[in-house]
Amino acid sequence: MKIVDLRSDTVTKPDAEMREAMARAEVGDDVYGEDPTVRRLEETAAELAGKEAALFVPSGTMGNQVAVLTHTARGSEVIVDSEAHIFYYEVGGPAVLSAVQMRPVSGLHGPDALSLMEKAVRDEDVHFPQTALLCLENTHNRMGGTVMPQDTMRRLYQAARARGVAVHLDGARIANAAVALGCEIRDLTQWCHSVMFCLSKGLGAPVGSVLAGGGAFIDRARKYRKMLGGGMRQAGVLAAAGLVALRSLDRLAEDHAHARLLAKNLAGVSGIAVNPGRVHTNIVVADVSGTGLTAAEYLADMRKKGVLASPFGPALVRFVTHRDVTRADVEHAVKIISAG
């Protein structure tokens, strides 16, 4: 039986070019700063993001948590969207690791973003925690891979900076956002003090993410990475795959086209509700309540027929296109889903 895996863009396998690069990677002990391939990856990533320096980390979650640790002090507060990955999917890390309070704001990535953010920043008061950090997410996973426009990011950054609040960008899929907007990554990341982006999602590397920011910020972040167990040794074998991934950013447009094709076809399937206009990048969120099944029941049925996706709520299902899914795979999945 043919299997089409649309659960996530994290399921991709390293291609032949990546495997060859990994096999031939020049390595050293990265904790000593002696791995030349890691250094090249960090320099390349910093240049792409328009930042002074970068830090290779094992995962996006670690990159985000290191950023929160580096930007904040114990007892301070972090403004974040109520559906943000940092708040929703990172196991309460900011509370446990940084001892900070999260202030989730519903709609922070919507049309009222600026006014909502300004209202959330704490005034000086002995009873209040200090607002230390604003965390943004672009693309926004739980909002269906939607893109925050550059102008919105600019206005949020400028307003936060005026209030003495740092801005961290969870840019796990920032390359998808840049491709969707037809701009460079640095055009988006100029509006934040730090940014994390993943190599192991749409870019297809097997492991790793990068945290980028100012030189002094990355120096502090490197120590927190070590504290969290992220100090790696001959990590060049992993960084080599990341360097290959960074050479193929433009191909993300293909994933976006496949997602639009999927959404357009699913919108015509009885019992499934999809808004193709909300599909900005490679994520499609479908409401399957019209089938009379819960998301879990629907996914179990689809799995038996060879289509894999992820639950996104009681009746919501997420489909993610990626480099290992072809147009033919999408068409096959649509045929299976349409047959019910």
Q: Write down the architecture of domain 251-339 according to CATH.
A: Alpha-Beta Complex (3.90)
If you average pLDDT over every residue of the chain, what do you get?
97
| Residue 297: pLDDT band with limits 50, 70, 90 | very high
Cβ(256)–Cβ(282) below 8 Å: yes
Peptide bond into 10 cis (omega under 30): no
What's the confidence (pLDDT) of residue 12?
97
Which tokens sit at 135?
């965390």
pLDDT per residue as tens digits for the range 315-328: 999 999 999 999 99
Average pLDDT over residues 29-36: 97
What's the confidence (pLDDT) of residue 315?
97
Instruction: Outline where the chain has alpha helix (H).
Output: 16-24, 36-49, 60-71, 85-88, 93, 113-120, 150-162, 174-181, 185-189, 215-227, 236-245, 252-266, 295-305, 327-339
CA 29 to chain centre: 28
Q: How far apart are CA 200 and CA 203, in angstroms?
A: 6
Where does residue 208 fall: left (phi above 0), alpha (psi -120 to 50 degrees), or beta otherwise? left
Q: Is 311 exposed, middle or buried (CB count within 10 Å of its CB: 0-12, 13-18, 19+)?
A: middle
Residue 189 has pLDDT above 80, yes or no: yes
Residue 48 has pLDDT above 80, yes or no: yes
Q: Is 267 exposed, middle or buried (CB count within 10 Å of its CB: 0-12, 13-18, 19+)?
A: middle
pLDDT per residue as tens digits for the range 213-254: 999 999 999 999 999 999 999 999 999 999 999 999 999 999
pTM above 0.85, yes or no: yes
Average pLDDT over residues 200-225: 98
Q: How far is CA 300 from CA 317, 329, 332, 336, in A?
A: 12, 19, 18, 13
Q: How far apart are CA 301 and CA 207, in angstroms?
A: 31
pLDDT per residue as tens digits for the range 152-166: 999 999 999 999 999
Sorted by where each begins, the domain ranges of the chain are 16-245, 251-339
Cβ(196)–Cβ(202) below 8 Å: no
Number of neighbouring beta carbons within 10 Å of residue 303:
12
Average pLDDT over residues 277-305: 97
Q: How far apart are CA 105 and CA 212, in angstroms?
A: 25
Number of neighbouring beta carbons within 10 Å of residue 184:
14
Q: Give me the percent of the chain exceeding a pLDDT of 90.
A: 99
Average pLDDT over residues 256-268: 97
What's the confidence (pLDDT) of residue 1?
86
Residue 195 has pLDDT above 80, yes or no: yes
Q: How far apart are CA 37 and CA 191, in angstroms?
A: 28
pLDDT per residue as tens digits for the range 109-123: 999 999 999 999 999
Q: How far apart are CA 297 and CA 340, in angstroms?
A: 13
Q: Give me the percent of the chain exceeding a pLDDT of 70.
A: 100
Which tokens sit at 297?
């029941």
Q: How far apart are CA 96 and CA 58, in angstroms?
A: 19
Average pLDDT over residues 33-41: 98
Residue 340 has pLDDT above 80, yes or no: no
User: What's the CATH code, domain 16-245?
Assistant: 3.40.640.10
